[in-house]
Amino acid sequence: MKYCRCERAGRIHYGLIEGDDVALLDGAPFSGGRTTGERLRLAEVRLMAPVEPPNVFAIGANYQDHIDETGSSRPERPLIFLKPTTAVIGPETPVVLPTMAPDEVDYEAELAIIIGRTARNLPPEAAIGAVFGYTCANDISARDCQKRIDRQWTRAKGFDTFCPLGPWIETDLSPADLPISLRLNGQVMQQGTTAAMVFAIPYLISYLSQAFTLLPGTVILTGTPAGVGMARKPPRFLRPGDTTEVTIGGIGTLRNPIRAEGTDTVRAPCCA
Ligand code: MG
């Protein structure tokens, strides 16, 4: 099933997508939300980030071809970082190149896990049972901050708008071997499969749950395959007017335009 968050006439709803309609829910589907009987046309709503996560965890260096292209070494255990929830935006919402670091902003297509129930200390064989579903993510990264200025990742991967999610959550999906790609202005830049992850999804969830309580709605970004802008010769960083599209088989396409800070008439709000 496909679950979304959407806005119409200033009201925000969770919904279940059924054909051309959205059946509205009275709460988040992973927190017991039920259908209200009210329906909207999918074409008449604005899709938002499909979840308001309590935490966004992310995994670095989780595809060997991306490790190779960046000249880093294969991690012995999952490399975890956090993205702030204020970085989350939805489909079609602009990624904003920040004035303080606009020059080396990069894309990373990633499969995102959405946790469905509170979980702690899960063994790998029980991990998939805690999953609600999956969506597309773009782990936007300011490489100058990441590699040279800060040399850690909080600001580099945490600027406002640096965590596009969407377009919806697919719940009926096996994540083990899904095609994943990113197009920049229509040109394929990344193309891989989730089967190439260094640490598979059950192991990642189990590992995280040994450190952190995973709450319903928690998002976990699972790493990116090769083809990022910084590894290209010459590098290809994001510019105002660009468009990124993350496509994952069985889910759909997450599309976001790129803008310079201060050029939007309306500032992108949190979880827009
Ligand atoms: Mg990443």
Q: What is the pLDDT of residues 238-268, one digit of tens each?
A: 999 999 999 999 999 999 999 999 976 555 5
What would the mean pLDDT of 185-210 be, rounded to a whole number? 98
Class of domain 1-46: mainly beta
CA of 33 to the centre of ligand 1 (A): 31
Q: What is the pLDDT of residues 38-90, one digit of tens each?
A: 999 999 999 999 999 999 999 999 999 999 999 999 999 999 999 999 999 99
CA of 4 to the centre of ligand 1 (A): 23
Task: Write down the domain spans for the chain.
Answer: 1-46, 48-260
pTM: 0.96
Residue matched to tokens 């309306």: 266
Q: What is the pLDDT of residues 202-233, one digit of tens each?
A: 999 999 999 999 999 999 999 999 999 999 99
CA of 26 to the centre of ligand 1 (A): 33
Residue matched to tokens 């920049």: 184
| Contact of 199 with 206, CB cutoff 8 Å | no
What would the mean pLDDT of 133-150 be, rounded to a whole number? 97
Q: For a pLDDT cut of 90, what percent of the chain falls above it?
A: 96
What pLDDT is stored for residue 263 in this prediction?
76
In CATH, what number does 48-260 get? 3.90.850.10
Beta strand pairing call for 243-248 and 219-221 = unpaired
What pLDDT is stored for residue 231 in this prediction?
98
CA of 46 to the centre of ligand 1 (A): 27
Cβ contacts of 212 within 8 Å, gap of 6 or more: 55, 57
CA of 34 to the centre of ligand 1 (A): 33
* 245, containing H or E segment: strand 243-248
What pLDDT is stored for residue 81 in this prediction?
98
- Reduced to 3 states (helix: H, G, I; strand: E, B; else coil), residue 168 is strand
CA of 111 to the centre of ligand 1 (A): 10
CA of 270 to the centre of ligand 1 (A): 20
Beta bridge mates, 221: 58, 112
Q: In 3D, which of 149, 108, 104 has the Cα closest to residue 239? A: 104
